[in-house]
Amino acid sequence: MTFLSGYIAIIGPPNVGKSTLLNRILGKKLAIVSPRPQTTRNRILGIYNGDDFQMVFMDTPGIHRTRTALHRSMVASAFAAFNEVDIIMVMVETGSGDDPEISDILNNLRGTGKLCFLLINKIDKGSKEKLLPVIADYGRRYPFDAIIPISALKGDGVGLLLDELKSRLEPGPQFFPEDMETDQTESFLISEIIREQIYYHMKQELPYSSAVTVETIDDISRKGLLSISARIHVETDSQKGIFIGKGGRMIKAIGRSARLELEKIFGVHVYIELMVRVEKNWSKDGRALRRLGY
């Protein structure tokens, strides 16, 4: 039996459902998801194993036109994925055809010569009739090796996508041990889950001005308890005030929902201590970015 393997990137504009697809394929939450754009900031691997194959999926930050140092680093890491994988999956929504990001993505694809699928996501939202002209239009714009409509949220088309991917894998090594599901550390995943809750609790630009680092994790296994201390970094004193909220109400609410989510993921009781710290203009400063993991 020949072992098949490959790296497969999920690329696309923000908010189209890339992280949702990664989680759907792996059958668990590896990547955070939110209704707002630019949620994912780092590349995340999800390792999908079969008896005779291994697919290494790479979730990437949404590609958008941007100015700040943080967003430049996010977009650069997404574009770098083009060169590092065997198969590229470009994900769009039915409505995203005219977005300038799509042209940027297609222009970058042209030079790669790599196998490339187009995934049209969120088909559970629109009508089937609208899909056909979209498929035809994308087919004209780029010679995709396959165009596959899916719903990452509901799972429609995802089985078909996996079959199609498997049929295109080449003989290759098992890159990661069988029991490894992701390249993320536990502490990175925890910081991401806290960041996810910030997207749900904070309005407007505030999530984009925040970063989370985990300072300590105490695994008190005998008591079935994970005790976490983490910091939320914001850019100004006034943001700090809003994150803490009246009488600490906001920070408590973020901590509580992150705790519930982490208890679901780890299956143990979780205790979280959250602190808010001002790191002036961190999203515009290269050194601060590196310190915070970007």
Q: Does residue 151 touch ligand GTP according to CB under 6 A?
A: yes
Question: How far is the CA of 292 from the CAs of 87, 102, 151, in angstroms?
Answer: 30, 29, 33
Q: Using CB atoms within 10 Å of the CB of residue 72, give its burial: 0 to 12 exposed, 13 to 18 middle, 19+ buried.
A: middle
Q: Does residue 20 touch ligand GTP according to CB under 6 A?
A: yes
Per-residue binder mask for ligand GTP (CB under 6 A), 65-104, x = binder: ----------------------------------------
Q: Does residue 38 touch ligand GTP according to CB under 6 A?
A: yes
Round to whole Å and give the CA distance between 177 and 181: 9
Q: Does residue 125 touch ligand GTP according to CB under 6 A?
A: yes
Of 77 and 229, CB closest to Mg ion = 77
Q: Which residue is nearest to ligand GTP (CB)?
A: 62
The answer to whether 244 touches 255, Cβ cutoff 8 Å, is: no
| Residue 37 assigned ligand-binding role | no
- Residues in the site for Mg ion, rule: CB under 5 A? 18-19, 39-40
Of 35 and 177, CB closest to ligand GTP = 35
Of positions 84, 124, 170, 215, contacts ligand GTP by CB under 6 A: 124
| Residue 59 assigned ligand-binding role | yes
5 makes contact, choosing from ligand GTP, Mg ion, none, with CB < 5 to 8 Å by partner type, with none
Give least dist CB 59 to ligand GTP, A: 7
Please identify which residue in the block is written with the tokens 């910081």: 191
Paired with 231 in beta bridges are 213, 275
Paired with 145 in beta bridges are none
Give least dist CB 152 to ligand GTP, A: 4
Q: Does residue 17 touch ligand GTP according to CB under 6 A?
A: yes
The answer to whether 27 touches 102, Cβ cutoff 8 Å, is: no
The answer to whether 36 touches 87, Cβ cutoff 8 Å, is: no
| Residue 18 assigned ligand-binding role | yes
Element (H, E) at 231: strand 225-234
Contacts of 122 (CB under 8 A, 6+ apart): 16, 17, 93, 94, 151, 152, 153
Please identify which residue in the block is written with the tokens 């490894």: 180
Of 124 and 263, CB closest to ligand GTP = 124
Of positions 16, 194, 230, 270, contacts ligand GTP by CB under 6 A: 16
Round to whole Å and give the CA distance between 4 and 11: 22
Binding residues for GTP: 12-19, 59-63, 121-124
Residues that bind ligand GTP (CB under 6 A): 14-20, 33-35, 37-40, 61-62, 121-122, 124-125, 151-153
